Structure 1
Amino acid sequence: MIITVLVICYLFGSIPFSFLIPWSKGIDIRKKGSGNVGGTNVLRTLGPKWGALSIALDFLKAFVPVLITRSLFGVDLWVPLLAVLLVVLGHDYSIFLKFKGGKGVASTLGGFFALTPILGLIFLLIWFPIELTTKYVSLASLSGLFFVAIFSYFVDPKIGFIYSILFLMSLFKHRSNVKRLLSKTENKTDIVAMLKRWKEIK
């Protein structure tokens, strides 16, 4: 049963909402912006409405199966932890996109809130100030994941171990972003300005 549940979690994670939403509008997100199959690229390409929907669905595709897994195997912490890992693996390496995918931040956050809500809140408390001041989504995301990985060891070493793996996975997927950050050529995303423009258009 455990293997079946984990396979289902991987398949849930593999659903490429950030690809399907633009695709439904005749857009291949892999050929737009950064080329990443993720909510931020959808946000930049299609605007706040569709970007927010993509991010929300990427969040929920982790939150829901991990929450269900937690209710089924609450005593055995390893199973819901592995569920988080498998969902994010599915997002990053989707079976429906020839094992390619996004960078997994929204899905990782969904797993955080399903399993350890306090650590999900810590992520957001780190993410928002960094993004709003620097406009670098990648820096905000990696910073949030790094500090959550550290704090998670104080909650439970098993959680710390898996969350550290999640941080390293994200760091690997963000390797091109890190290079651009170091060379000061990383793309900026001014979320506040985008929302203002969207309201004006409406």
Structure 2
Amino acid sequence: MAAKLISLLIGYLFGTILTADLVVRKKTGKNVFEVGSGNPGMANVMRQFGFKAGALVLSGDLLKTIAAVLVTMLLFPKGAPVLRLYAVLGCTVGHNWPLWHRFRGGKGVATTCMGIFLYAPLLGLISDAIGMLVVFSTGYLPVGAVVITTLFAVLTFLFKGAEAGVLALVLAAIMFDRHLPGLIRVAKGEEKRNAQYFKKRSGKT
């Protein structure tokens, strides 16, 4: 039990490092919550400042997830593989509800997509790939994000057991919660499609 709690904590601490905020502060001196939609994620930063800035945010979010899993593996070299999933869950929770930012955070798409791949490469790759296909075919990011975690939860229950399945289900619930407003907009026909979502505003560099 102690190893699981420590893995969660390690993940949480890494997750609270909001790469988007660091990039925006470097570029503007403002915090990310004052820019665009206020979401500290790749999409918001890319919309406001272009591809390079968005790529930096994405890279940082992926790297902090990798770091959380690696530190967990180093601390518990003989620990069960499910400890990696605890670290991934902690990282996503930290990214979405960071203590240092009054629990205002992102949506955890990058941390989750990288994390499930690190825990179960084949299942994660299948889930990520199908989710991306959904995004490309429908044009809706919220739908693809929810598909990724829902599919991964089903596959994890089938092939990795109940404990890992429950953790995957929690990740799916978090993803659904963070994207619920977007899903409602999709249902109403009000959600921007992928190309519009990443389109830079005129005059931005």
Flag whether TM exceeds 0.5 (same fold).
yes
Q: Tell me if 1:159 matches 2:160.
A: no
For 2:17, the aligned partner's letter is I
Q: CA deviation at 1:9?
A: 2.2
The CA deviation at 1:153 is: 1.3
Alignment match, 2:34: 31
CA shift, 1:31, in A, is 3.2
Question: For residue 131 of structure 1, what is the aligned residue in structure 2?
Answer: 135
Cα distance in 1 between the residues matched to 2:153 and 2:85: 13
Distance 1:48 1:127, change over 3 A: farther
Which residues of 2 match residues 137-176 of structure 1 at below 5 A? Answer: 137-157=141-161, 158-176=163-181
| Matches of 2:6 and 2:170, distance apart in 1 | 22
SS of residue paired to 1:102? coil
Equivalence for 2:203:
none
Aligned length: 195
**Paired position in structure 2 for 1:94:** 98
Shift of 1:5: 4.7
* 5+ residue gaps, structure 1: 196-202
Aligned residue identity for 1:81: L
Identify the residue that residue 17 of structure 2 maps to in structure 1: 15
Q: SS at 1:63's partner residue?
A: helix
Segments of 4+ moved more than 6 angstroms: none
Which deviates more from structure 2 when the two are superposed, residues 119-128 or residues 57-66? Answer: 119-128
Task: Map residues 175-186 of structure 1 onto 2, 5 A cutoff.
Answer: 175-186=180-191
Query: What is the percentage of aligned positions where both structures have the same residue?
Result: 30
Residues 107-161 of structure 1: CA deviation (Å, up to 9, x unaligned): 0112112211112211231122222222211111111111111111122122211
- The Cα shift of 1:194 comes to 5.7
Structure 1 residues 23 and 187, CA gap change in structure 2 (3 angstroms): farther
Q: Give 1:76's match in structure 2, choosing from 56, 80, 87.
A: 80
Q: CA deviation at 1:12?
A: 0.5
* Aligned residues: CA RMSD: 2.3
AA aligned opposite 1:20: L
Equivalent residue for 2:107? 103
Do residues 66 (structure 1) and 69 (structure 2) align? Answer: yes
Higher relative contact order (CA 8 A, sep 6+): 2
1:78/1:12 CA distance change after superposition, 3 Å? same
Q: Closer, same or farther in 2 for the Cα pair 1:74/1:84, shift >3 Å?
A: farther
Contact 2:20–2:57 (Cα < 8 Å) also in 1: yes
In structure 2, relative to structure 1, the CA distance for the partners of 1:186 and 1:70 (3 Å cut) is same
Amino acid in structure 2 at the alignment position of 1:186: E
TM-score normalised per structure 1: 0.86
Instruction: State whether residues 64 and 114 of structure 1, in contact with CA within 8 Å, keep that contact through their aligned partners in structure 2.
Output: no
CA distance in 2, matches of 1:37, 1:75: 33
- Is this contact kept in 2: 1:131–1:139, CA < 8 A? yes
Counterpart Cα distance in 2 of 1:187 and 1:145: 21
Cα distance between partner residues in 2 of 1:168 and 1:160: 12
